[in-house]
Structure 1
Amino acid sequence: MSFDVGEARDAQLAGTGEPWTLVFIRDLRQPPPVVWAALTDPAELDQWAPFRAPRDLGETGPLTLTMVDGDTEEETPAHVRVVEPPTLLEYSWGQDRLRWELEPHGGGTRLTLRHTLVEPTDPASVATGWHVCVVVLQHLLDGDPHGVIRGQAAKDYGFDELRDAYRKMFV
């Protein structure tokens, strides 16, 4: 099956050092309540996100998110801090903070992800990971699910080239 993840776009880094925040913006064709469900429902998250969630993220409180890479799984503590359906979701993921903002835009939704990273890491790799995830999310929302792309499997979809493009964008 051919699956095009597109080109690097609509991402920037905020801040001057650690921690820094990746600001990642995408326009989706569905209205905010539909996108909200995909961001919070564990069954939908398992089809596009880099982790599995044991419960609905639309409820505040602690939980454990499980990163999956092939046969390897890594559990990371998380805490849902802000839930304002269908416009704002914020939670910790380990030491990182993810803030998902949804606003109506042209009949669909403008999704803004602000991923604040505390641990030193490659911002281009983080942007590329979210890029691939959101492309898979859009297919899911369009009723054309591709199946989740996690970890090393992303290399089969041009991860390295896309990461290089984001790296150039962030210089």
Structure 2
Amino acid sequence: MDGRRGTVFGTEDGRVAIRFVRLLPHPPEKVWRAITDPGQLAAWFPGVVELDVPVGSSLFFGVTEEQRRRYGMSEGSTGRMLRNEPPSVLEYEWAGEILTWEITGTPEGSRLVFTNVLSDASAAGPAAAGWEAGLEVVEAQLGGRPVTWNPLDRAEELAAGG
């Protein structure tokens, strides 16, 4: 799998994970907002969720209107906040998966490492395509560039090898 689209690896507990690394010319606080602010999340995250909650809090991931229309999804899912250490680490469980966002300041801006530990190993390809499409939106948002594409369309294009 293309490194930009994530590196797939096995975890110590026998599951499969995907890791993405991005070097971003923005301070950690700005990157943190891009991955936690509901207004910014709405443009790319595959659910509606409030992530500004204390560790141990329950999370509800609602279905977006686009997901209802495109995929016929109607039910949301639940999770739990595992770590919330602005602007460095955000980790939560979502429907049996673990999502970890680690932001480290660099002389040039930030290093973002995103890891998704999957509950279903066969989902690695589609999940990687979806997260890559989302990260493309995050990078555009951070750079002040307009998002002129639909991230779900882009994910499908990436999953098909585009």
Range of TM-score over shorter length? 0.7 to 0.9
Q: TM-score, normalised by structure 1?
A: 0.77
Unaligned runs of 5+ in 1: 1-6, 163-171
- The one-letter code matched in structure 1 to 2:82 is R
Tell me how far 1:120 sits from its aligned partner.
3.6
Partner Cα separation in structure 2 for residue 159 and residue 70 of structure 1: 20
Residue identity in the other structure for 1:34: K
Where is the helix percentage greater, Structure 1 or Structure 2?
A: 2
Q: Evaluate the alpha carbon distance shift between residue 110 and residue 76 of structure 1 in structure 2; reply closer, same or farther with a 3 A threshold.
A: same
Structure 2: give runs of 5+ residues left out of the alignment.
none
- TM-score w.r.t. the length of structure 2 is 0.81
Equivalenced residue count is 154
Task: Determine the structure 2 residue equivalent to 1:49.
Answer: 45
The one-letter code sitting in structure 2 at the alignment partner of 1:65 is F
Counterpart position of 1:37: 33
The CA deviation at 1:148 is 7.3
**SS at 1:134 equivalent:** helix
- The alpha carbon displacement at 1:59 in A equals 3.4
Q: 1:46 to 1:59 in 2, by over 3 A?
A: farther
- Aligned pair in 2 of structure 1 residues 23, 85: CA closer, same or farther (>3 Å)? same
CA distance in 2, matches of 1:145, 1:94: 31
Q: From 58, 65, 69, give the equivalent of 1:62.
A: 58
RMSD after superposition: 2.5
Alignment map for 1:19-168 (pairs within 5 Å): 19-53=15-49, 55-57=50-52, 59-60=54-55, 61-68=57-64, 69=67, 71=69, 72-73=72-73, 74-146=75-147, 149-151=150-152, 153-154=153-154, 157-162=157-162
Between structures 1 and 2, the one with greater strand share: 1
What is the CA deviation profile of residues 94-143 of structure 1, one whole-angstrom value per residue up to 9, with x for unaligned ones? Answer: 00000110011242211111110122423122111111100011111111
Task: Answer whether contact 1:49 1:148 (CA < 8 A) is retained.
Answer: no
Tell me the percent identity: 25
